[in-house]
Structure 1
């Protein structure tokens, strides 16, 4: 336990063993401040309605979140229902859960789905012409209206993606923001403001600490809008109380 100068009060840092444990701890008020995934934050909101996101991380490429996308062979103009579309696994948020939600809601026609088991297998199946396209994700950069295929899966295995036939984006979800820093509603507003200022100054004043707080995202922070995580709630509403789910894209 120590007292950071930015806050002036004793702080205890606790490492949780899972997102399920984190959700339970913050929903019960045992933890006042937590670093969430987008999905665990949405789950906490569903459980208690007692948390608020006050900062969201920005990735080094300037992206503030990602979009689930359906990419298909550029030359293929058949209806979605006639296409064989690969996805990695049911645990993938971008590769299965968001598209499945869109299909269930009727905003995306149901294709002929093929489970590949992994992102690498998805790319390999497309390269071998075993499927007509696949579900993937693209980083979302504010004010960037394009859909750069080169950035599929954040640029991972770009050579493998480009080895197959040229692709086009046929469908895109709304932005899913990266997981926020969230405060329990019992924390005073001035303390939450101090926490936000501490995070805002971190990239320039304590970049080493930023590496610990955000090992994946290194571009600083933005203040989220109240409804930014509304799109994620549909992925967690109705789930059992364990919430022991994967947090992968």
Structure 2
């Protein structure tokens, strides 16, 4: 006979078990490291991410520490070593991590303001330049971002190959890895490069848009540059937004808690979420590791290009 006392006892036992499981993973992981690759200067990254780290720490009940990695490779190797528990990946970097055996599991990516979950790789030139197509830039200087950047290296090389430019390093006079999306646009604005690859979702959602809002790009006379001072001369097919991924070896209850905290964020701490997204995103989209299988094929293609050039 099921009595109210038995039901209450069962509920209490379940609550105790759930609490004990949570205590178990928190005892094993009293601190979680969250890694990001800077698309902007380090102080800007800290200002953007710090409120979200505080929110995660509160929701998870353990300290969540932000680590600003030097580059995508540092995130990959950090997760491989188990020193990074959660990471914000670019699509190509996540594909590279999987290809090299890193135990990393995607659980979400960003939802754009228009509800889409993708972006583009574009080639920017200054509007004052004579260049309207990539064909006109042979022998000029190209600014890229990072070898493991999706929109800043891998997709640009794929796009160039489709146009018959199979070796960017010989087609252009110089190919420069600038280190970040911001640096690529700075190099273009200052004339260090004639064309720069970068990420772009819309006129209001891109590295360029963020930099213009901050007044980071200047003309030679010191005046602030505007959107009309730049021109897109090529845009790729849509690229899936990069994932947020945690170590596959984390306990399942820890993973569940992280996922819940992410998806609760826009409502539970709107200020932290808005600061993180700069008002350009509307939330997180559920994702699985397999969503980036297509990106793995892209990375294999770019690797094959490199091997062909080396042989």
- Which TM-score bucket, shorter chain as reference? 0.5 to 0.7
- Considering fraction of residues, name the structure with more helix: 2
Q: Is 1:55 paired with 2:108?
A: yes
Matched residue, 1:44: 97
Contact 2:86 2:246 in 1 (8 A): yes
Identify the match of residue 246 of structure 2 among 179, 182, 187. 182
Q: Deviations over 1:59-98 (max 9, x none)?
A: 6786645321135679989874343565334537334443
Tell me, yes or no, if the aligned pair for 1:70 and 1:170 is still in contact at 8 Å: yes
Q: Partner of 1:160 in structure 2?
A: 225
Distance 1:152 1:36 in 2: 17
Once residues 63 and 74 of structure 1 are traced to their aligned partners in structure 2, the CA distance between those partners, rounded to angstroms, is 32
Highest CA radius of gyration, 1 or 2?
Answer: 2
Indicate whether 1:35 and 2:83 are aligned: no
Q: Contact conserved, 1:87 with 1:96, CA < 8 A, in 2? A: no
Q: Is the 8 A contact 2:107 2:289 kept in 1?
A: no
Q: Which residue of 1 aligns with 2:267?
A: 204
Distance 2:190 2:173 in 1: 16
TM-score by length of 2: 0.50
Q: Using the TM superposition, give the Cα deviation of residue 45 of structure 1 relative to its aligned residue in structure 2, in angstroms.
A: 1.4
- Structure 1-normalised TM-score? 0.60
Whole-Å separation in 1 of the counterparts to 2:116 and 2:97: 24
| Secondary structure of 1:48 counterpart | coil
Distance 1:196 1:202, change over 3 A: same
Aligned equivalents of 1:193, 1:76: Cα separation in 2? 53
Query: 2:122 is matched with which residue?
Result: 69
What is the CA–CA distance in structure 2 between the aligned matches of 1:150 and 1:186, rounded to whole Å? 37
- Give the whole-Å Cα distance in 1 for the aligned partners of 2:264 and 2:112: 16
| Alignment partner of 2:31 out of 1, 7, 13 | 13
| Separation in structure 2 between the aligned mates of residue 54 and residue 21 of structure 1, nearest angstrom | 20
| Cα distance, 1:211–1:182 mapped onto 2, change above 3 Å | farther
Question: 1 or 2 for the larger relative contact order (CA 8 Å, sep ≥6)?
Answer: 1
2:184 is equivalent to residue 138 of structure 1: no
* DSSP-derived class of the 1:204 partner: helix
Superposition RMSD on alpha carbons, in Å?
Answer: 4.6
Change (3 A) 1:218 1:124: same
Q: How many residues are paired up?
A: 216
**Partner Cα distance (2:129, 2:186) in 1:** 23
Query: 1:107 aligned to 2:173?
Result: no
CA distance in 1, matches of 2:248, 2:284: 19
Alpha carbons 1:87, 1:95 under 8 Å: kept: no
1:33–1:184: 8 Å Cα contact kept in structure 2? no
C-alpha deviation, 1:46, in angstroms: 1.9
Q: Name which of 118, 121, 146 aligns with 1:91.
A: 146
Q: SS of 1:41's equivalent?
A: helix
